Amino acid sequence: MSNGKKHILIVDDSPGDIQFLMENLKDKYAILVATSGAKALELAVHEPKPEVVLMDVMMPEMDGYETCRRLKENEETQGIDVIFVSANDTTEEILKGYDTGGRDYIVKPVRPEELMQKVDLAIDDNRKRHEASSEKQYAMDAAMAAIMDSGELGCVVGFLRNSFELNDISSLAKSIVEATDGFGLSSSVQLRSEWEIVNEGSGAQVAPLEKELLMRLKDSGRIIEKDKRLILNYGDVSQLIKNMPDDEAKRGRLRDHLAIIIEGADSQLQKLKVDRELKSIIVDSKETLESVVHMQAENKQKAVEIMDNVMSKLNSSFMSYGLSEEQEEALVAVVESGVGASLDNFEHGLNIDKEIDVILQRLAKLVKDSL
C-alpha cells in the first residue's frame, strides 16, 4: 500500500545505487524499481503510474537515453518527468538528456539533499502543470486567435510597442513568451541582470535542464539550430524555441521575427538596468543631502553656542584683566564685529538651506514617481 504517496520509479542495474535511492526516498514516496529499460517501459504504463522516473544512464541492452526517448514517444507515458542520474557532467551528455526529453540531471555521487530537492520540485511542478492545463489551453487558443487576426508581423510590432511600457524584468520575460506563443511556438526565455535571473516559459514551469542549457549556451553564438530546436542569444537575453516548423521558408521568416523580438527585449532590459541604477543614485543623493542638512544644522547650533560662550567669558573676566573702560569697549567692539560677521554667514547658510530644501523636495518627488 502506498498510503496516498506519490510513486517514484527507480531505473538502475546497480543494486547498491537502487538501495541508496530507496533509503533516501522511501519515507516520503512510494518506490517502484526496474533493473532494465525494458522493465521500466512495462511498469510505466501500468497503475499506479510513476510521476517521476530516476533514470540511470549507463545500462546494458537499452541505456537511459533510449528508455527516456521511448517513454516520451508513448502518449500514455510522455507526461512522466525523467531525471537522469549519471557520473558524466559534460554539456554533451546534458544535451543528450534534453534531446530525449529529460527534465533534470543529477550527477553521481548523489547527494541526498539534492536528490530530495529535485524530486520534490518535479512532483510540485507536475501538480502545477495539471492545475494550469485548462488555463494554458485557453491562453493558447487566445494566442492562436490573435495570430489569425494580426499576422506574424503584428506580433513583432505589438511586442515592441508593449515592451516600452514594462517596468520590471519578469513582465518583460512574460511578454517575450506571449509574443512567441503568438507564432504557435513553444519556448523558454532567460533574462539576466546583476540582481536577478528570470526564467519564463510557455508551460507552467521552466524545467531545470532548460535553465541550465540557456545559461551554458548564452555565449555560444547568436543563433544555434538543431532539428526543431532554436536558441537565440542577444546581450543578456536568451531564448529556446522547441518546435520550429519544418517548412524552410516559414522557419526562416520566424527566425527573423524572433531575432527582432530578442534584440528589442535586450534593449528594454538595458533600459530597466539603467532606470534601476538611476533610482538608486537618486535615493542615495537624497539621503546624503538630508545628512548634510542635519550636520549643517548641528554646526550652526554649535557656532551660536560658542559665540555666546565667548561673550559670556569675556564679560565675566574684564574685572580680572584690569583694563580701562576704553580698552574694554575696544575689545568688545572687536568681538562683536566677529560675531556680526558670523551671524551674516549664518544668514547666508539659511539661504543655502532653502536651496537644498528645494532640491530635496524634487528628489523626494523623483523617488516617489520611480517606485
Contact 262, 249 (CB under 8 A): no
pLDDT reported for residue 354:
66
Distance between CA atoms of residues 359 and 270, nearest Å: 28
Supply the mean pLDDT for the chain. Answer: 84
At residue 164, the pLDDT reads 87
Q: Which residues contact 185 (CB under 8 A, 6 or more apart)?
A: 202, 241, 242, 243, 244, 254, 258
Q: Other CB atoms closer than 10 Å to residue 242's CB: what's the count?
A: 16
Q: What is the pLDDT of residue 128?
A: 84
Question: Are 67 and 41 contacting, i.e. CB atoms less than 8 angstroms apart?
Answer: yes
CA-to-CA distance for 80 and 66, rounded, in angstroms? Answer: 15
pLDDT in tens, 8-54: 999 999 999 999 999 999 999 999 999 999 999 999 999 999 999 99
Contact 311, 328 (CB under 8 A): no
Measured CA to CA, the distance from residue 82 to residue 103 in angstroms comes to 5
Cβ(115)–Cβ(105) under 8 Å?
Answer: no
Indicate the angle between helix axes 112-131 and 133-163, nearest 10 degrees. Answer: 90
Give 177-226 pLDDT, tens digit per residue.
Answer: 999 998 899 999 999 999 899 999 987 688 899 999 999 999 999 999 98
Grid cell locating 319 = 574685572
Among the residue ranges 185-189, 205-209, 240-244, 367-371, the one predicted with the least confidence is 367-371
Q: Give the pTM.
A: 0.58
Q: Is 141 left (phi over 0), alpha (psi -120 to 50) or beta?
A: alpha
User: What distance in Å separates the CA atoms of residue 54 and residue 83, rounded to the nearest whole number?
Assistant: 5
Average pLDDT over residues 242-269: 92
Residues 320 and 281 sit within 8 Å (Cβ to Cβ): no
Provide the pLDDT for residue 343: 59
Q: How far apart are CA 359 and CA 355, in angstroms?
A: 6
Cell of 100: 530525449
Confidence of residue 149 (pLDDT cuts 50, 70, 90): very low
From CA 263, how far away is CA 280, in angstroms rounded?
26
Residues 334-348 have a mean pLDDT of 65
Q: What is the pLDDT of residue 144?
A: 58
Res. 308 pLDDT band, cuts 50 70 90: confident
Alpha-carbon distances, residue 276 vs 27, 168, 175, 212, 364 (angstroms):
46, 10, 20, 27, 16
Which helix (H) or strand (E) is 223 found in, with range?
A: strand 223-226
pLDDT given for residue 157 in this prediction? 87
The pLDDT confidence band at residue 148, using thresholds 50, 70 and 90, is very low
pLDDT confidence of 244, banded at 50, 70, 90? very high
Mean pLDDT is highest, among 71-85, 137-151, 156-170, for 71-85
Spatial separation of the C-alpha atoms in residues 192 and 174, rounded to whole Å:
14
pLDDT at 1 over 50: no
Q: What pLDDT score was predicted for residue 198?
A: 95
Q: In the structure, how many helices (H) and strands (E) does the chain have?
A: 10, 10
Measured distance CA(141)–CA(164) in Å, rounded: 26
